[in-house]
A = this chain, B = another copy of it.
Amino acid sequence: MNLGPGKEFDRIRGIIERIAEITGDASELGDDCALIPLGSTNLAISIDNSLENVHFRTDWLDFKEIGCRAASSALSDLAADGARPLGALVSLGVPANGKKNEDAAADIMAGVASMLHNVEAKVLGGDLTRSQEYIVDVCVIGEANRPVRRAGAREGDGLWVTGYLGGAALALEHFRAGKSMAAALRNRYACPEPRIEAGIWLADHGASAMIDISDGLAADAQHLAAASEVGLEINLEHIPCWENVAPLAAVASGEEFELLCTMPPTFGDASVSAFRSETGLQLSRIGTCLRGAGGRRGGVRLLDNNKPVALPAGYDHFA
């Protein structure tokens, strides 16, 4: 599967090539979830690691929030395939220094279990090891009757996004500056809600391609464009922004856990109303699929009232 640009993805391309040398075919690797066909349905599985000082800091979040956030982040990959969660296995690494950390492990798992409980899933198993820093690696398992992949967008499809973007980056700014913030903003970072029901609804209503925007809309649009081998034109003025966030900051903001998808051209106002009333979420048309990968930077062209704008880079672990 084609991935967008970046050093992190160059590494992943290198890894997939090596795996293909051994197994002959690794073309299915690289999507949000792995799929295993099961009779009339599919098992969807994804793994997502949250590391101290990379994904979270213990002076910003409490341990329950750390667990909640790690579970959300993994569940978001199920949402991106339109899958319904069944459960999760969690590898926990905790430093081996006394009572404080004993509670920490249980608190992290309470956060994971609560988030899973919210989406009618449960903790299925796990692993506990001593580690230098906290590690919360969550493997989620779900079921998808009609899984939606990153590939599948067609010329003429509309490009849509759920919710309002930029809150995660704004919350991060507040954490970094040591400033307090409203609960709604804090939770965009501390305990974001995976878009499970939205993902299932969009899959059921004809989504041709879908991805979560954990790397930021700009970066993940490039993955979707590369996988679908289409160009994408995104209209900056149509980006649904979180309060006090500028559109360019909103498309750059990572770990949003909203869904970016392409819908057939027939998908219009009536469908949007139905979506909103069933999920309670915003759904905004922000662009269009074009033929081939004609655009700039991995097939994605960003326009601000018809004027081309440089695409911001996504978060890259190895930039």
- Find out whether the CB atom of B124 lies under 8 angstroms from the CB atom of A23: no
Q: For residue A3, give the distance in angstroms from its CB to the closest CB of chain B.
A: 11
Contact partners of A127 in chain B: CB under 8 A: 47-49, 137
Contact B14 A89 (CB under 8 A): no
A117 — which chain B residues lie within 8 A by C-beta?
22-23
| With A29-B125, A54-B130 as contacts: A15 and B86 at CB distance below 8 Å | no
Does A181 sit at the interface, judged by CB under 8 A? no
Q: Is A90 an interface residue (CB 8 A)?
A: yes
* Residue in B19, B21, B123, B128 whose CB lies within 8 Å of A8: B128
Q: Which residue of B lies closest to A97 (CB)?
A: B318
Write out, one digit per residue, whether chain A residues 53-91 have a CB within 8 A of any chain B CB (1) or not (0).
111000000000000000000000000000000110111
Stretch from A34-42, A169-177, A267-275 at the B interface:
A34-42
Interface string of A284-319 (1 = CB under 8 A from B): 000000000000000000000000000000000110
Q: Majority SS of interface residues in chain A?
A: mixed
Q: List 8 A-B contacts (CB under 8 A).
A: A14-B105, A15-B128, A19-B113, A29-B123, A33-B125, A36-B141, A49-B93, A91-B91
Residue A109, interface by CB 8 Å: yes
Q: Is A49's CB under 8 angstroms from B91's CB?
A: yes
Q: With A and B bound together, what is the CA distance between A125 and B124 in angstroms?
A: 19
CA A24 to CA B14, docked complex, whole Å: 44
Q: With the chains together, A15 CA to B296 CA distance in Å?
A: 49
CA distance A43 to B141 in the complex (A): 11
**Which chain B residue has the least Cβ–Cβ distance from A109?**
B15
CB contacts (< 8 Å) of A131 on chain B: these are 51, 54
Across the interface, do A139 and B23 meet the contact criterion of CB distance under 8 Å?
Answer: no
A8-B128, A123-B19 are known contacts. Are A47 and B139 too (CB-CB below 8 A)? Answer: yes
Residues of B within 8 A of A107 (CB): 18
Q: Does A126 count as interface, using CB distance less than 8 angstroms?
A: yes
Q: Indicate if A235 sits at the interface (CB-CB under 8 A).
A: no
What are the residues of chain B within 8 A of A102 when measuring CB–CB?
A: 11, 14, 318
Cβ-defined contact, B87 with A128, below 8 A? no
| A110 lies within 8 A of chain B by Cβ | yes
- Tell whether, in the assembled complex, residue A125 and residue B89 are in contact, meaning their CB atoms are under 8 Å apart: no
A26 CB within 8 Å of chain B = yes
Residues of B within 8 A of A135 (CB): 49, 51, 93, 135, 137
Does A133 belong to the interface (CB within 8 Å)?
A: yes
Q: Which listed residue, B49, B54, B109, B129, touches A18 by the CB 8 Å rule?
A: B109
- Other CB < 8 Å A-B pairs besides A91-B91, A96-B317, 10 of them? A22-B117, A23-B122, A23-B123, A33-B125, A36-B141, A46-B125, A47-B139, A51-B129, A54-B129, A91-B137
